[in-house]
Amino acid sequence: MTTKPKAGGAGETLEVRCGDKLVGLLRRRSDQIQDIEFVYDEAWVKGSSGVRRLDPHAAHSALVKRYDREPHGRSLRRIHQEDFCQATGHIPSTKYESNLATKLRGPPLKDCFDVLRNTQAGAFNAARFVDFLVFNVLCGNVDAHSKNYSLLLQPSGAASMAPLYDVMNGDIYPDVTRNLAMKIAGKNRGHDIYARHWHRMAEENHLSGAQVRWRVGELSQAVLDALPSVVEELNARLARGGLKRLGRAR
């Protein structure tokens, strides 16, 4: 990949290539790190699926197919997405349950489950949300705030949980808080959450405590089973990029 004219500043253009094919351009519209526009080859994007590495020999580049776009004639149509901060009537600066900067309270889990209960597929959406909550605790995602959970709203009016996004592990960063963005039965540290807390969280939100506890166990085992192969795959990619390998899966 190549950049021009000035890396990191407004006006920068980054060519996005898959092999020898130019598939799009990243254009930085301002000096803000997130103010980036992706202009892409629609035919190529519609023909792709999932995650594609732009350079098979690089560890740092990937193109992820957007879940909020769908084919519409010869172009793409945007599927409306509403995050839980919006859906619960909170302003963006209160996206965390506890916001130190503003001293304002953000939406707790109860508010999120109340929104899901009022959707057409309420039980299914609530079950998906539970899966996301469990996985975020398992992987140490301390930034799973209300703007990182969303509903996809179809033209028919149906609402479904959007896939997980912005998932990160806080444990690898020494200066990042270990507090979860949303409390589970009053607990905001992953290592303080036990089966009884999941049970209590379920009952507080009109779910089956026994079923939620079973699901926590099932997902926990699935993560443990997948961990060795994931570490092996990541180490192979890191080695190709000349980067430091991960430690052994524990």
Distance between CA 185 and CA 41 in Å, rounded?
Answer: 46
> Percent of the chain having pLDDT more than 70?
72
Position with higher pLDDT, 14 vs 205: 205
**Residues 233-244, mean pLDDT to the nearest whole number:** 78
Distance between CA 233 and CA 171 in Å, rounded?
Answer: 20
- Provide the pLDDT confidence category of residue 44 given band limits of 50, 70 and 90: very low
Residue 136 makes CB contacts below 8 A (sequence gap 6+) with 144, 164, 167, 180
Q: pLDDT of 171-182, one tens digit each? A: 888 888 999 999
Phi, psi of 37 (to 5 degrees): -105, 135
Distance between CA 115 and CA 221 in Å, rounded?
Answer: 30
Inform me whether the pLDDT recorded for 109 exceeds 90: yes
- Provide the pLDDT confidence category of residue 85 given band limits of 50, 70 and 90: very high
pLDDT for the residue numbered 6? 40
Q: Say whether 68 is catalytic.
A: no
Distance in Å from the first CA to the final CA of the chain: 36
Residue 76: closest CA among 111, 45, 122, 31 = 45
Instruction: Point out the catalytic residue in the list 20, 55, 111, 143.
Output: 143
Q: pLDDT of 116-134, one tens digit each? A: 999 999 999 999 999 999 9
